C-alpha cells in the first residue's frame, strides 16, 4: 500500500468514528453482526473513492505561481478623482469702493461752504441694485446733508455707479469725517469690502473766515421805508414827524462808546408810532447769522422803544425772528441769530422800531447790522456807508435831550412835534 493510500485510510477513520458514535447514542437496540459488516463495507467503498480522487489529483499537472508585472500601464501612478477648487462665497448685496471722484480725503473746504461729494462704487454682489437702493448716513459728521440719497440709476452685478450728495462744511475750523453705507430696497444696510462691514466716508479740512454777506446800514436805501401812513424818503429827513432812517458813521451808544457804523431809526412821532424798512430778498446759506448791537442813542434819556426783526419768504406771512425792549439805562443788546434754518431760501428782512407810548427821544441804533457768512477767502475792505453825519445829543432845558447833527457844521434840529393834539410841543433851546 502506498504512503498516499495509507494517508487516505487514516483520514477515513474519523468519518467511521462519527458513524459509530451516532450509532452508539441512537436509542435503538444493539446492531446485529450483519449491520456492522455493511458499515465496514461502506467505509471500504469510501476509501476506494477517496483513493481514486487522490490518484486523479496526482495526475493533474500543477504550475508554480509566477509574479506578473504589466509592461504597458496606461499611467505610472494610481488614478484619483479630481475635486473642484473651493468657490468664493458670493452675496446678493455686496459693494466695493472704487474712487473719490470729488473732494478726496483731506480736501480743504471753507467754513460754511456748500460742496458736493461724489463716490464711485461697484456692485460686486449677485443682485441688481435698483433706484430703490440708497446711500445712507450712519455716523460721524453729517455736514448738514440728507439722511439718505437714492442711487441715480440701476446697477447690475459687476457694474459701477457715481453717487453724489450735497453737503455743507461746519462753521468751525477742524478736520471732519462722516460715514455712509448702502441700504437695499428691503431696508437692510450693507457695507463695503470682503466682510461687507466697511463704510465709505467724507473727510475734509475746514478753515476760513467770517465775512459780511449783507450790510443793512450800507444798503440802507435798498429798503422801502414807511410808517403807518406813508412811504418815507431815503435817506430820511432829520427829525421828520413822519419818522426817519439814516446812517451815522460813528454814533455813541448809551454808555458813551463808539462801536461801529450805525443805522439810526426814529418811529413816526405819534403815540405808539413806528417805522419799518423792508429790504430786498437775499440768499441765505447754512452758517449765516444776523448780527447787530441795538440800543438807544447816547443821551436820549427818554428813549423807550421796541426793536423788532422779521422775515418773509415770497408771499408768505411775516414771521418774527426776534424782539427786544429797550430803555435808556446805559446798556445794549448784542444780537446774534443763526439763520441756517433758512438755508437755500431767498429771504426779505424787515427792521422795525416802535414807540412804547410816547415816541419822544426814541432814537434807536442798530450798530453794524449785517448778515455774516463763512468764506474760505479773507474779507475785503467794505466802503464806508454814506451819508455819514456825526450825531450827538445835548440836554434840553427841560431835561429831555435834543440831537445835533454835524455833517459839516453844527446846527440845532427843528422843534419836536406834538405826540397827540393835547400835548404841548417841546422846543430846543
Q: Go through 158-176 and write b for each residue having 16 or more CB atoms within 10 A of its CB, e for each that does not.
A: eeebebebebbbbbeeeeb
Cβ atoms of 369 and 217 within 8 Å: the answer is yes
CATH class of the domain whose range is 212-406:
mainly beta
Q: Go through 376-387 and write b for each residue having 16 or more CB atoms within 10 A of its CB, e for each that does not.
A: eeeeeeeeebee
DSSP letter string over 287-343?
T-EEEEEEEEPTT-TT-EEEEEEEEE-TTSPPEEEEEEEEESSS--EEEEEE-GGGT
pLDDT in tens, the chain (429 residues): 555 555 555 555 555 454 444 444 444 444 544 544 554 455 555 545 554 454 444 444 444 444 444 444 444 444 444 544 444 456 899 999 999 999 999 998 888 778 999 999 999 999 999 999 999 999 999 998 999 999 999 999 999 999 999 998 887 889 999 999 999 999 999 999 988 999 999 999 998 888 899 999 999 999 999 999 999 999 999 899 999 999 999 999 999 999 999 999 999 999 999 999 999 999 998 788 999 999 999 999 999 999 999 999 999 999 999 999 999 999 999 999 999 899 999 999 999 999 999 999 999 999 999 999 877 678 776 555 554 444 545 443 333 334 443 333 332 333 333 333 333 333 322
Residue 277: all three cell numbers together: 424798512
Rounded Cα–Cα distance for residues 209 and 198 (Å): 35
| CA quadruple 17, 18, 21, 27: dihedral sign | negative
Torsion of CA 151, 155, 159, 165, to 10 degrees: 0
Domains of the chain, residue spans: 95-207, 212-406
Among 2.60.40.10, 3.10.450.40, 3.30.230.10, 3.40.50.300, name the CATH number for the domain at 95-207: 2.60.40.10
User: What are the residue ranges of helices labelled H in 85-124?
Assistant: none
- Of 57, 45, 55, nearest to 16 (Cα)? 45
- Of 117, 95, 114, nearest to 104 (Cα)? 117
User: What are the residue ranges of helices labelled H in 26-124?
Assistant: 33-59
Query: What pLDDT score was predicted for residue 3?
Result: 53
Query: What pLDDT score was predicted for residue 170?
Result: 87
Rounded Cα–Cα distance for residues 205 and 189 (Å): 28
Rounded Cα–Cα distance for residues 297 and 254 (Å): 6
111, exposed or middle or buried, with CB in 10 Å at 0-12, 13-18, 19+? buried
Amino acid at each position: 500500500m502506498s504512503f498516499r493510500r495509507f494517508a487516505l485510510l487514516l483520514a477515513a477513520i474519523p468519518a467511521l468514528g462519527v458513524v459509530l458514535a451516532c450509532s452508539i447514542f441512537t436509542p435503538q437496540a444493539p446492531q446485529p453482526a450483519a449491520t456492522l459488516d455493511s458499515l465496514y463495507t461502506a467505509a471500504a467503498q469510501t476509501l476506494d473513492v477517496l483513493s481514486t480522487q487522490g490518484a486523479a489529483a496526482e495526475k493533474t499537472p500543477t504550475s508554480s505561481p509566477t509574479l506578473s508585472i504589466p509592461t504597458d500601464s496606461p499611467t505610472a501612478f494610481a488614478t484619483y478623482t479630481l475635486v473642484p477648487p473651493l468657490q468664493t462665497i458670493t452675496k446678493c448685496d455686496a459693494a466695493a469702493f472704487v474712487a473719490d471722484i470729488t473732494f478726496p480725503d483731506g480736501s480743504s473746504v471753507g467754513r460754511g461752504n456748500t460742496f458736493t461729494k461724489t463716490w464711485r462704487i461697484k456692485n460686486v454682489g449677485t443682485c441688481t441694485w435698483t433706484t430703490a437702493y440708497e446711500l445712507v448716513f450712519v455716523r460721524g459728521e453729517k455736514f448738514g446733508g440728507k439722511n439718505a440719497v437714492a442711487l441715480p440709476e440701476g446697477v447690475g452685478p459687476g457694474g459701477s455707479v457715481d453717487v453724489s450728495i450735497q453737503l455743507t462744511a461746519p462753521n468751525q475750523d477742524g478736520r471732519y469725517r462722516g460715514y455712509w453705507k448702502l441700504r437695499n430696497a428691503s431696508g437692510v444696510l450693507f457695507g463695503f469690502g470682503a466682510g461687507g462691514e466697511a463704510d465709505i466716508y467724507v473727510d475734509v479740512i475746514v478753515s476760513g473766515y467770517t465775512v459780511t454777506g449783507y450790510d443793512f446800514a450800507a444798503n440802507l436805501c435798498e429798503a422801502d421805508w414807511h410808517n403807518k401812513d406813508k412811504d418815507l424818503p431815503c435817506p430820511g429827513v432829520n427829525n421828520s414827524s413822519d419818522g426817519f432812517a439814516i446812517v451815522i458813521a460813528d454814533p455813541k451808544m448809551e454808555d458813551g462808546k463808539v462801536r461801529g457804523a450805525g443805522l439810526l431809526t426814529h418811529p413816526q412821532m405819534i403815540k405808539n408810532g413806528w417805522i419799518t424798512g423792508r429790504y430786498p430778498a437775499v440768499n441765505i446759506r447754512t452758517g449765516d447769522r444776523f448780527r447787530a448791537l441795538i440800543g438807544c442813542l447816547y443821551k436820549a434819556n427818554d428813549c423807550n422803544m421796541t426793536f423788532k426783526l422779521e422775515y418773509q419768504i415770497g408771499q408768505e406771512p411775516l414771521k418774527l425772528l426776534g424782539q427786544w425792549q429797550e430803555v435808556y439805562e446805559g446798556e445794549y443788546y448784542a444780537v446774534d441769530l443763526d439763520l441756517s434754518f433758512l438755508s437755500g431760501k431767498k429771504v426779505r428782512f424787515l427792521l422795525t422800531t416802535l414807540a412804547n407810548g410816547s415816541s419822544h427821544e426814541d432814537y434807536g441804533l442798530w450798530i453794524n447790522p449785517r448778515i455774516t457768512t463763512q468764506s474760505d477767502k479773507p474779507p475785503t475792505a467794505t466802503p464806508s456807508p454814506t451819508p455819514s453825519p456825526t450825531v450827538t445829543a445835548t440836554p434840553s432845558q427841560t431835561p429831555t435831550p435834543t440831537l445835533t447833527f454835524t455833517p459839516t457844521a453844527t446846527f440845532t434840529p427843528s422843534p419836536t412835534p406834538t405826540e397827540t393834539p393835547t400835548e404841548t410841543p417841546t422846543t430846543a433851546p
